[in-house]
Structure formats: structure tokens, C-alpha cells
Structure 1
């Protein structure tokens, strides 16, 4: 049974979401003290965090940063604000998905299932742990890539996007195909969500001088490039 930490200060909404998630056999926990969310997080050790942006004392972005400094646990943001920057900020901080309030519960459960399946089934079923790419070692299990310029850690979304692109080396992977593989059902995904995730992956790769190996094909998708093919 997966443990979900629901960081939501609206008591009515919290109870409603918890009741529905319990029906799906999830263990749902709330926050006792919104001044010290990390204490509850450390005690519960959840498999997934659902966090509202507007919270007492500190907002959800603050707690996302705190959680990300300790863990790669999947995070889904909730927001009642209709600001595109909220979704962009969430993804830049390492969130796995974003749900706009008000939402249909079927959409939320679909996103939860997709994230849990992607994160935990991927970790359990991954057979090839290491991939050598342009002189760098990609560790799918650890979620990192390392070369002589250093090492960067990637989020679950970032490492999975990279894995898909590397499995199709020097071939264009369409945006629709990436969305299907990442989120299972593209109807529930903003097209901008994929753009943010890919841009964030490229920025991380730039830290170790590898950003140029992920190419955007305008109107088509993305491609991971092998430098030997580029040299030819």
C-alpha cells in the first residue's frame, strides 16, 4: 500500500481527497503543524507527496524545495490560482505533475497512478542500470549522469525522458510519444509540461557540457544525438 502525504490546509478538501484515495487503497496522511511540514514528512516517509501551493506560513514552493533537498520522492502540486507561472515554477522545482483546481477526481487519480507506476515500477523493473553516452555514464537507478566535467542528479521525469531519447538515439521522438510514455494519457497533460521538463533536463546537462546533445526538432519532437554521428 502506497503512503501519500497530502499537504492541504483546506480541511473540507483534505477530507474529501483522503476519503476518495482511501477507497483506492492508498494510505493518506495529513500535516499536524504547517510551520514544520518536514517533521511530518520525515516521520511518515511517504511514497508520494501532494502539495497545495497556497499554505499557511510558507507556500508549497518552499516545502517542495525543502523536500527536494532531501529526497526524490514524487511530488504533485495542487493550485487554485490560474497562473501559468505556477505550473512552470512547480516543474522547475522538480515536481512530477500539476493539477489545477477545481479538478475532477478521475483526473487526480489518473495522475497519481501514472506517477507511481512510472517511478516505482520503473525502479523495480529496470534491468540495464548504466548507459554510456558521449563519454558520460547514465545511471538509470541512481538517476544521475556523470562525466569528466562532474555529476548531476536528475528528477524521475528527467531521467525517464533521457532514457526514452537514448533508446531512440539519433531518431526523433515525437512530443506525443513522450507524453504517452511519461503520463500514459495525454488528455490530462498540458503540452507546456513536457516543454518545461525537457528544458530543465537540457539545463542540467549543460552543467556538465552535454546540453548540445539533446536537440529540439521544431514541430516534430526531440532527439538525443551521438557525437560520433555528429562528427561524421
Structure 2
């Protein structure tokens, strides 16, 4: 029986949704102590997380990032906050889907089953976690974590895409247009300075790893990440 961690501070809704999922073959663990969401996740070993955005102490985005440092399991947000920016933030913080309230229980069930099939089913490529390497530097793009010499930093979804593009072409220049294409489907709505902002953020993350000099700006061309070895992808 697959297990679900339900992080919802509306006790009535949590009870109803938990009962519905239980009746449909899932073991549901309902979080009651919202200061220890990560501990509950690690203790239960849940296969999937259903998470509200508005929670006591820390919001769902925070807990999503914490879980992502340990697991690539599906994380689905359920929230009354229905703006496009809320959904973008959820995805950038590591979520797989976003369901707005009020919702139909059948829709939640269908999405839960779909994400579980994708993560653990017959066609899941979960036998080996995807890694992008540049010598001793390793990016885990499915959980937005960058590692170097046993130090790790958390990335946002956009930062992860940017780092992956640079690591995959380590030692070579990656043009600004190419990076914009990878990070945003429609560049027309992206200010030219936005990429500069993300480059600055990535440089700060590299500094936390003691590698602030790895990323170079090549004027008039783009950016280059120093080749620390053989840039390679595993798990493809």
C-alpha cells in the first residue's frame, strides 16, 4: 500500500481528504505538529506529499524545499491561493503539481495516481537518480541540489536549469539567448536584466560551496563554467 503525507492545517478538510484517500487504497499520514513536517516525512517514508501553502510557523514552500533535500518523491500543493505566481513559486521550490481549492476529490485522486505511476510505475525512470557532473561537482536536477566536496546548496527550479545548462557545457561558452530559451518558454515577457539576476544568485550559491570563481562572464557571448573534469550526465 502506497503512503501519502498530508500537510493541511484545516482539520476538517484533512479528515475528509484523508478518509477519501484511505477508502481508495492509500495509507494517509496526517501531520498534526507543523513544526516537524520534515521529521514526519522522514519517519513515515511517504511515497507522495500533499501540502497546503498557508501553514503555521513555516509555509509549504519552505517545507517543500526541506523535503527536496532528501527525496524526489512527488509533492503536490493544495491551496486556496490561485494566482499564477503562487503556482510558479510552488514549481520553482520543487513541487510537481498545484491543485487549487475548492477541488473535487476525484481530481485529487486522479492526480495522485498519475504522479505515483510516473514516479514509481512500470515506466518510471527511478532506478537511478539523474545526476549532472562536472568533475567533483554534482547537480541533482530532480531535487534542485548542487554538491561540491560534500558541501551542498539548495537551488530554485530556474537556478537548477541554469546550472545544468552550464555544467553540461563545462569549459565552453553558453550564450545568453540559449540560457533564456532553456529557462523561459517565451522570452518576450522577460526583462533582459532577469538573467543577470539569476547569474548573480548562482554565483552566491557557488560561493557557499567555496567555488565563486568557477563561473565566468564572456563579454558579448555569454557565460562559461570552468571544466573541473569530464562533464557528464548519469541516469539518462
TM-score w.r.t. the length of structure 2 is 0.61
Distance apart, 1:24 and its partner CA: 1.1
The answer for the alignment partner of 2:192 in structure 1 is none
Query: 5 Å matches for 1:208-227?
Result: 208-210=167-169, 212=178
Question: Cα deviations across residues 54-100 of structure 1 (Å, max 9, x unaligned)?
Answer: 11111111111111122222100111012211111111111111101
Across the aligned residues of Structure 1 and Structure 2, the Cα RMSD in angstroms comes to 3.0
Report the counterpart of residue 132 of structure 2 in structure 1.
145
Contact 1:2/1:26 (<8 A) preserved: yes
Q: Per chain length, whose mean CA-contact separation is higher, i.e. which structure has more relative contact order (CA < 8 Å, sep 6+)?
A: 2
Alignment of 1:67-216 (within 5 A): 67-121=67-121, 126=125, 141-148=128-135, 150-155=137-142, 202-210=161-169, 212=178
- Contact in 2 for aligned 1:32/1:40 (Cα 8 Å): no
The offset of 1:34, in angstroms, is: 1.0
Pair member with larger Rg: 2
Structure 1, unaligned stretches of length 5 or more? 130-139, 157-195, 220-232
Whether the 8 Å CA contact 1:202–1:214 is kept in 2: the answer is no
User: How far apart are residue 207 of structure 1 and its match?
Assistant: 3.9
Q: Runs of 5+ in structure 2 lacking a partner? A: 144-155, 187-236
Count of aligned pairs between the two proteins: 167
* Separation in structure 2 between the aligned mates of residue 86 and residue 141 of structure 1, nearest angstrom: 31
1:213 shift after superposition: 9.1
Q: 1:125 to 1:32 in 2, by over 3 A?
A: closer
Cα gap change, 1:88/1:125 in structure 2, threshold over 3 Å: closer, same or farther?
closer
Cα gap change, 1:42 to 1:201, in 2 (>3 Å): closer
